[in-house]
Amino acid sequence: TRPPEAAEPRLPVGVLLARLGQESMARFRRALKPLDLSAQHFIVLKQLQTIGAASQAVLADALGIDYSNLASVTAELSDRALIERYRHESDRRRYVVELSPKGAEVIAEADRAIAEGEEGMLSTLSEDDRERFH
C-alpha cells in the first residue's frame, strides 16, 4: 500500500490542454476537408461573415494576417466564388472583399460540420458543464 501522502501520478494540466487542442484542431480540419477548405480559408470567410465587406487591409488587421498572405488567400477564395473581390470606389489601389452567397452557403455547411465534431468531444459533458467550459 502507498503512504497516504502519495498522490496519484497525473499529467500536467498544460499537457492535457495541449492534447485537447490537438484533438480539437484535428476534428476541425476533418470537418472542413470535404468542403475543400483550409483552416485559414474558414477563418477568413467567418470573419467576413462577421464584419461584412471590408478592405483587404482591414481584414488582414482584424485577423492578424500578413497582407501578402491574405492577398493569396482572398485570390483563392475569389477564384472559387466564395468571396467577391473588387476595387475600392475611391482608391483603385485597394481591394474590397465580401462574402458571396456561395461563400455564405459553404460557411453554413462548415458550421454544421464543425458543430458535429465538437459534439463528439463534448458529448460526456452536461449542459451546465458545456456552458461553463464555453
CA–CA separation, 92 and 115 (whole Å)? 40
- The model carries a pTM of 0.81
Q: How confident is the model at residue 92 (pLDDT cuts 50, 70, 90)?
A: confident
- Residue-level pLDDT at 6: 61
In this prediction, residues 16-43 reach a mean pLDDT of 94
Dihedral pair phi/psi, residue 95, rounded to 5°: -100, 145
pLDDT at residue 97 in the model: 95
Higher pLDDT, 20 or 6: 20
**Contact indicator for 31, 111 with CB cutoff of 8 Å:** no
Cα–Cα distance measured from residue 74 to residue 103, given in angstroms and rounded to the nearest whole number: 12
pLDDT at 3: 59
pLDDT exceeds 90 at position 4: no
* Secondary structure element (H or E) that encloses residue 19, with its range: helix 13-32
DSSP secondary structure, 18-85, as one string: HHHHHHHHHHHHHHHGGGT--HHHHHHHHHHHHH-SEEHHHHHHHHT--HHHHHHHHHHHHHTTSEEE
- Which of these ranges, 37-46, 71-80, 92-101, has the smallest mean pLDDT? 92-101
- Residue entry with cell 482572398: 74
**Predicted pLDDT of residue 1:** 58
pLDDT, position 120:
86
Cell of 86: 473588387
